[in-house]
Amino acid sequence: MTCCPPSSSPSEESFTPTVFTPSEAAVRPASVMIPGGTGFIGTDKPYIRFDGEGPLRKGQVGAFTMSQGSISNADFAAFVADTGYITEAEHYGWSFVFWNQVPDYVGDTQAVPGATWWRRVDGASWRYITGPRCALINDLQDHPVVHISWNDAMAYCSWAGGRLPTELEWEHAARGGLTDARFPWGDAEPDDEKNIFCNIWQGRFPQNNTLKDGYQATAPALSFEPNGYGLYNMVGNVWDWTAETHRVPGRRSASGSDHLQAASPNKVAKGGSFLCHKSYCYRYRIAARIGNAPDSTTTHMGFRVVWDR
């Protein structure tokens, strides 16, 4: 799974997702209208084939409004203040933290098999990003909220009167008016030295991050250059949950329709994160995708919201 979200669920315990009625206290984050029309999803130049990136397909998209960036700590704090909501990471009492974010005082931590840079840290949550006593959100109010499960994201969306985007809507928005572009800005490839278009890893993953983009972890939600629709950080920074159940497009039938693998319980996340690097996790591309358990939480999982008006 490399730098991507660990696929194991945080706990065997049951957790009942919460759905709220839209609240008058909800203040819509900075958002833009995304025009409807023919949307594109996938690519005819897939890189990670087993993720189901291809082929390039079309679909009709209605106009919608999307938050310009991922939901921020300030946005989420307002939601919690109004509802008293407890996230899944808080419910379980722990979450996944990237190894170089774990404070020294935490001591020994349990590594994820096959991805030892992910550590289980007791007390880590959206309030305490890297572990207990690390209430960094006071200094990161404009950064994306993290340690957010799919269920948490759905709860916020219901409170805000919105929803998570479909994968088609997400890709349509990320392209910003482009068609089969690899990135929201076009096809120019980010690198470790000069072409710094987004917040991803520079250097040798997972040992050395040179921080050429200026950030060891998240950047402000509204940072770097927006795409053609005025959206920020559609790739890099944090993963965005979508509304989709994870399926992989298969071969096309004679009629031209897609065959799909049976649905897994996992949900589709898009965009990659600050931990992506081409050598290990080339998923900071529009067509890239991954499926993850809806109750998994990490230091690089966030979300953005869409509204139907």
* 251-276 pLDDT, tens digit each: 433 333 444 454 468 999 999 999 99
What CATH number has the domain spanning 31-71+155-307? 3.90.1580.10
Q: What's the rounded Cα separation, in Å, for the pair 119 and 101?
A: 10
Residue ranges of the domains in the chain?
31-71+155-307
pLDDT at 130 over 60: yes
Q: Is the pTM of this model over 0.85?
A: yes
The number of angstroms, rounded, from the C-alpha of 7 to the middle of its chain's C-alpha atoms is 14
Whether the CB-CB separation of 71 and 30 falls below 8 Å is answered with no
> Any idea what the Cα angle at residue 140 is, between residues 139 and 141, rounded to 5°?
105
User: What three-state secondary structure class fits 136?
Assistant: helix
The number of beta carbons lying within 10 Å of the beta carbon of residue 262 is: 6
d(CA 37, CA 28): 24
| Torsion sign over Cα 46, 8, 293, 161 | negative
pLDDT band at 49 (very low <50, low <70, confident <90, very high): confident
CA 257, CA 194: separation in Å to the nearest integer? 42
DSSP 32-89: EEEP-EEEEES-SS-SSGGGT--S-EEEEE--EEEESSSPBHHHHHHHHHHH----HH
**% of the chain surpassing 90 pLDDT:** 74
Burial of 1 (0-12, 13-18, 19+ CB in 10 A): middle
Residue 115 pLDDT grade (very low, low, confident, very high; cuts 50, 70, 90): confident
Contact 7, 266 (CB under 8 A): yes
Residue 169 has pLDDT above 70, yes or no: yes
What is residue 69's predicted lDDT score, i.e. its pLDDT? 98
In this structure, what token pair is assigned to residue 84?
């008293």
Quote the pLDDT of residue 15: 75
Asked whether the predicted pLDDT for residue 5 surpasses 90, the reply is no
Binning pLDDT at 50, 70 and 90, where does residue 180 land? confident
For the record, the structure tokens of 242 come out as 């979508």
**Contact assessment for residue 270 and residue 304, using Cβ atoms and an 8 Å cutoff:** no
Q: Token digits for 282?
A: 């080339």
Condensed to tens digits (0 to 9), the pLDDT of residues 22-46 reads 999 999 999 999 999 999 999 998 8
Distance, in Å, from the CA atom of 260 to the CA atom of 233, rounded to the nearest integer, reads 29
Helix ranges restricted to H, the chain: 73-83, 88-92, 150-159, 167-175
